[in-house]
Amino acid sequence: MLTFPKRFGARLTVALALSILAFPKPALANDDVAELRAAVAAERERPRAPRIDRAAFLARPVMRDVVLSPDGRNVAYLREQGKNRSVWLLPTADGAPKRVLANTEADQLSWSRDGRWVLLETPRQVFALAVAGQGGSGVVAMLGGRMRREFAAVDPSSPAAIVILERPPIVSREAKRWRLYRVDMRGRQTLLREDAKEIVDFAFDSRRRLAFLLRAEGEGHVVHRVDAAGRLHAAMRCERMERCMLLATSNNGDDVLLRTNAGGNFERIQRLDASGTLHPLHVDPRNEADLNEVVLDPVTQQPLIANYRSTIAASYGLTSEAKSHVDAINQHFPQRNLRIEVGSGPAARWLVHERSGSLRGERLHLYDPRSGRFRGILDDATFAIDGKPVPRPPEPAMARKIAFAYRASDGMRLHGFLMVPPGIDPAKAPLVASVHGGPFNLFRPDFSNDGQFLANRGYVVFQPNFRGSTGHGRDYLFAAKGDFGNGRVQQDIVEGVRYLLAQGIGDAERVGITGASFGGYSALLGVTFQPELFKVGIAGVPPADFGWTLREYLGAGQEMVPGVPMATSMRHLSLDPADQAIAKRLTEQSPIANASKLRRPLLMLAGGEDERVPIRGVTHYAAKLKSLGKDVSLFVDADAGHSVDDTLTREAYYFLMETLLHRHLGGAAPEAADSELRTHVRRNLRLAGRDLQPLLQR
């Protein structure tokens, strides 16, 4: 049930000269209410959107993992064609895409630093694919296995090498050892470090020597300098869930650049000097968001671009030259969520990934820093279902994703997103609160399939980033204080809904709540404890008792912070699993302990192989509701895990959600189900409430 942001994977290091970047001044406070009203008014003036077929929201991207070579001369990508996946190469100067490998199991691509090899990562191996016949192709390293070998990074200090991290077996009679290897394109490996403590991150100097090491120690991480003899010298401690990830070395390896929130609230770029002093280099100018991504020069490893996207997506150039190019890109793509890959060299192009809250997938553009020109690439057959092309949902028909802030009753400033169907009177439209999972996760200004699907059906959609969400600083994360029952966090969601209603956004008599994982749990809370507000609930893979599921999850060996026991992280977040008072409070406030209070229709969807929210907990709760005569429906895909990959099950989810929301909130009626979907629904709808009972009839 708990989901966490993926660990920052780019461990990009090498010597560089970096002058301290001036701190941007924080943006002045804005009139949040006026901005929100103006944005909603603009949506009302847009043309009404046509109804978009469900398939447009279910189709999967044909192209994935599009990456620019370090020299900016080629773009490599994976292409899905039915059940087949192939590797393609596009020259950035000119020419057509060329298939260079007909079939692969790889799900991730990387480039060697010299641009001579495309690296294909599968769960079992790393394969080096030679570009234009330069050298031989072949397996570089095996992954997985008893020693749990993983591809840690492309070695940024070597022309053509990768770094492999070897973890000890989970169960072993021997003392645990972590090993770090450098592996060249012929598969020859060199042991860089063997350690009794878990290796979390690393950085090299300009001589290819391991210069810094980040280890898990006790309840946190420690940054160590590594001397020429391999001895460690502690340089900095990162405790109480402070984030410390190594970016690059500077000053001939004496200093190290970090992505960290140590010594402050927000994650930022900081330099740790030889004396152990931190020097802030860049932080969100809006003073709202953690650092999202740092783009480094592929050769010098100098930081060029900082990106933030917890609220407003924004990219900033970090050198005078980079600033000039980033400003030009921002001007060409105003108000877009951009990801920029930089090529190094006199003829190098840059790759711009154009994204938006109203654009499904992404558009790709090559930028020539010499001429300032842009060229769109790879925009054919963007999506498909079972190999059949499906048009991208037209962007003019999508709702704009509006970032806004509101005040909770205790005065805390909270963040969220709003989607208003174009051309409608928002005061007369039904409103749905869509709650994110985690709970330690967040909504970003990205395209939301579920949110845009509902907006296209006529619903105003509210996506709250309640306190405890990530991406808004440590203070925001810790502000939840473990109150995840029917307490402060749920109150944030409820107060956000009431705030919107007070602004004339949404019909107070037609409000629903949806979500998956923790979001599903919040939906259960909503229809149990706030039935006067929420008229219907749809909950995907929901725990009925957050505390019980948390204890189950802790026993599975999961980690929120690498190398730190989950129980330790939960204790820092005021969710100590050993604290009886916390367990008692969560149980008493749980939906299952208050099942008799439910008086709104509820639809739940679950996976039989869910590794985070055990199916037995969901079915037990559903059975209890049924025994109490409650209006409950339960759809179970026996083969699904915590996330659903099966296209038919995803369509069933949308169809059932549409049906229930239409009946109780008055949005658009669902498209008729074809015979295959009807059969799938009848087979997997284990319980059917009053509104869904007709679907079981043949």
Establish if 485 belongs to a structural domain: yes
**Residue 406, Cα to own-chain centre: how many angstroms?**
23
| pLDDT, tens digit (0-9, with 9 covering 90-100), for 616-656 | 999 999 999 999 999 999 999 999 989 888 999 999 999 99
Residue 517's pLDDT is: 95
d(CA 155, CA 70): 12
Looking at the structure of the chain, the number of domains it has is 1
Strands (E), 62-219: 63-68, 74-81, 84-91, 98-101, 108-111, 117-121, 125-130, 138-142, 149-154, 161-166, 178-184, 189-195, 199-204, 210-217
* DSSP letter, residue 155: -
Check: CB of residue 303 under 8 Å from CB of residue 316: no
d(CA 695, CA 685): 9
Establish if 363 belongs to a structural domain: no
Establish if 48 belongs to a structural domain: no
* DSSP letter, residue 273: -
Residue 173's pLDDT is: 75
Residue 104's pLDDT is: 95
Q: Which domain holds residue 602?
A: 392-696
Establish if 604 belongs to a structural domain: yes
Residue 174's pLDDT is: 81
Helix (H) or strand (E) holding 637: strand 632-637
d(CA 378, CA 341): 16
Tell me, what amino acid is at 33?
V
Tell me, what amino acid is at 521?
Y
β-pairing, 138-142 with 149-154?
unpaired
Helix residue spans in 333-464 (DSSP H): 449-456
d(CA 356, CA 335): 8
Nearest to 16 by CA among 355, 310, 247: 247
- Taking residue 633's Cβ as centre, other Cβ atoms within 10 Å add up to 25
Helix (H) or strand (E) holding 37: helix 32-44
Establish if 600 belongs to a structural domain: yes
Establish if 520 belongs to a structural domain: yes
d(CA 488, CA 522): 12
| Burial status of residue 11 (CB atoms within 10 A of its CB: 0-12, 13-18, 19 or more) | buried
Residue 114's pLDDT is: 94
Residue 252's pLDDT is: 79
Check: CB of residue 340 under 8 Å from CB of residue 353: yes
- Taking residue 312's Cβ as centre, other Cβ atoms within 10 Å add up to 15
CA distance to 261, 366, 584, 599, per residue, from 266 (Å): 5, 32, 33, 42
Q: Both tokens of residue 341?
A: 């890959």
Residue 30's pLDDT is: 52
Nearest to 541 by CA among 624, 614, 625, 453: 614
Residue 8's pLDDT is: 32
d(CA 81, CA 361): 17
Residue with tokens 């298939």: 99
SS (H, E, C) 203-258: EECCCCCEEEEEEEECCEEEEEEECCCCCEEEEEEECCCCCEEEEEEECCCCEEEE
Q: What share of the chain is helix, strand, coil (3-state, %, to 5)?
A: 20, 35, 45
**What's the pTM value of the predicted model, to 2 decimals?**
0.92
Establish if 379 belongs to a structural domain: no
Residues of the chain with pLDDT under 50: 1-29
The CATH number of whichever domain residue 440 belongs to comes to 3.40.50.1820
d(CA 242, CA 222): 11
CA distance to 162, 195, 218, 597, 648, per residue, from 680 (Å): 45, 52, 50, 32, 7
Exposure string over 434-451, b if 16+ CB within 10 A, otherwise e: bbbbbbbbbbbbbbbebb
Establish if 334 belongs to a structural domain: no
